[in-house]
């Protein structure tokens, strides 16, 4: 079996082993927008490639990578929906959730999950989760709407599966 060569390295199976959040000036930066890329450090932006595992993932700091992504779904109104993602990265990435490009309030939500209780037609649409840390950023999206499409949601468009 392959083992990280440096001591202190963490594997993707245990992303919660150590959670260290730096407090300070960098925490005051506004959350990223799905339309405007955040300011990058002076290091090369080539290392920010969503879905790829570069050499920096084996040990030491690494850019976020989604290990479990959201799925598209057809759900009726009045149901509870749980959107779930898993992400690896060192330090642990911050997660930002958007509904149709609007940042959602994540109070009382678990890390990596978004509960939508008693969903309404207005909850249908595109959901985006952006994970970022000092090493980079990645995002995944999923959409949900009513089964068969209701007249009330005629403007909602599915992913074309």
Hey, where are the domains in the chain? 57-144
User: From CA 49, how far away is CA 37, in angstroms rounded?
Assistant: 13
- Please check whether residue 94 is in contact with residue 133, taking contact to mean a CB–CB distance below 8 angstroms: yes
Pairing of strands 102-103, 62-68: unpaired
The pair of structure tokens assigned to 141 is: 């999206």
pTM score:
0.56
Give the model's pLDDT for residue 68: 93
Average pLDDT, stretch 86-97? 96
Average pLDDT, stretch 68-96? 90
The pair of structure tokens assigned to 102 is: 């609007």
The pair of structure tokens assigned to 37 is: 């890329």
Which tens digits make up the pLDDT trace of 103-134? 999 888 999 999 988 888 899 999 999 999 99
Evaluate whether the domain defined by 57-144 bears CATH number 2.60.40.10. yes
> 112-116 long-range contacts, Cβ below 8 Å, gap at least 24?
112/84, 112/85, 112/86, 112/87, 113/82, 113/83, 113/84, 113/85, 114/82, 114/83, 114/84, 115/80, 115/81, 115/82, 116/80, 116/81, 116/82, 116/83
- Please check whether residue 32 is in contact with residue 96, taking contact to mean a CB–CB distance below 8 angstroms: yes
């Amino acid at each position: 079996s392959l083992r990280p060569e440096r001591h202190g390295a963490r594997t993707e199976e245990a992303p919660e082993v150590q959670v260290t959040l730096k407090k300070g000036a960098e925490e005051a930066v506004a959350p990223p927008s799905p339309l405007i890329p955040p300011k990058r450090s002076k290091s090369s932006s080539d290392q920010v490639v969503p879905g790829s595992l570069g050499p920096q993932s084996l040990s030491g700091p690494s850019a976020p990578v989604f290990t479990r992504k959201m799925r598209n779904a057809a759900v009726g109104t009045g149901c509870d929906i749980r959107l779930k993602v898993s992400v690896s990265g060192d330090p642990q990435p911050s997660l930002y959730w958007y509904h149709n490009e609007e940042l959602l309030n994540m109070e009382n939500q678990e890390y990596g999950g978004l509960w939508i209780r008693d969903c309404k037609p207005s909850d249908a649409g595109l959901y985006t989760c952006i994970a970022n840390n000092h090493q980079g950023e990645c995002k995944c999206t999923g959409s949900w709407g009513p089964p068969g499409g209701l007249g009330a949601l005629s403007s909602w468009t599915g992913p074309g599966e």
